[in-house]
Amino acid sequence: MIRIALAKGRVSDSVLEILKGKGIEFGDEKDDRKLILHEPEGKYELILVKPQDTPTYVEQGVAECGIVGRDIVMEQDSDVYQLFSLEAAKCKLCLAGKPGGRLERYSNIKIATKYTSSAEAFLEQKGVGFELIKLNGSVELAPILGMSDAIIDIVETGNTLRANGLEIWEDICEIQCVFIANKAALKTRHKELSELISCLYEGKV
Ligand code: AMP
């Protein structure tokens, strides 16, 4: 049996659909309080975990593999293999702020974000001076209230930005789900993992 750690929320909603399309169904997936889902053939077990914790379950070997947004993997320095992306929970990481703004206008910019590592890498590469303010959610408030000049956050439809009078200044990178695997399990459980990987990988980049 292969245990898959699945990031709960947008990722799990969309990955359960993908798995269903591949003929892998979990009978008890309707009960959203259940944290462990079983597949009738007994080949796979899904554990539904907080997105930020997904790489930890895989790194610790409690789950042989996992599926999580690339934003989470980029922020953490987990010792897992990132094998491929899945067409699920697609979005992008963006620099955003009040309409008409641009990064080039600042020699030192104050940015509010949940994604401090990715923000740091982006701003260093841009060669601009910066100060990061770490927030855990509702980051759109920061530029509105004058606490920051801009934000770095995930954008899917852009509705949240629009509803708060903000706009994208620059796209930083695309974000998809990634399939991650425990390094030891990829050797010791190679046959079973390969079966799952080839089932999910089909035609993916
Ligand atoms: P939207 O209004 O569709 O652009 O969605 C933006 C909001 O939803 C932001 O607050 C994001 O943090 C969150 N969000 C959208 N897509 C994702 C995703 N795939 N993973 C995590 N958060 C997301």
What integer pLDDT is reported at residue 29 of this predicted model? 63
Q: Is the pLDDT of residue 103 over 60?
A: yes
Q: What pTM value is reported for the model?
A: 0.89
Q: Hey, is 53 helix, strand or coil?
A: helix
* Cα 39 to averaged position of ligand 1 atoms, centre (Å): 29
Burial zone of 157 (CB within 10 Å; 0-12 exposed, 13-18 middle, 19+ buried): exposed
Q: How confident is the model at residue 205 (pLDDT cuts 50, 70, 90)?
A: very low
Q: Mean pLDDT score of the chain, rounded to an integer?
A: 94
Q: What is the pLDDT of residues 22-57, one digit of tens each?
A: 889 987 766 778 899 999 889 999 999 999 999 999
Percent of the chain surpassing pLDDT 70: 97
Buried-exposed string 142-151: b where 16+ CB fall within 10 A, e elsewhere? bbeeeebbbb
Check pocket membership of 156 for ligand 1, CB cut-off 6 A.
Answer: yes
Lookup: tokens for 155: 């954008």
Q: Is 61 in the pocket of ligand 1 (CB under 6 A)?
A: no
Q: Tokens in use for 11?
A: 């990722």
Evaluate: CB of 160 within 6 angstroms of ligand 1. yes
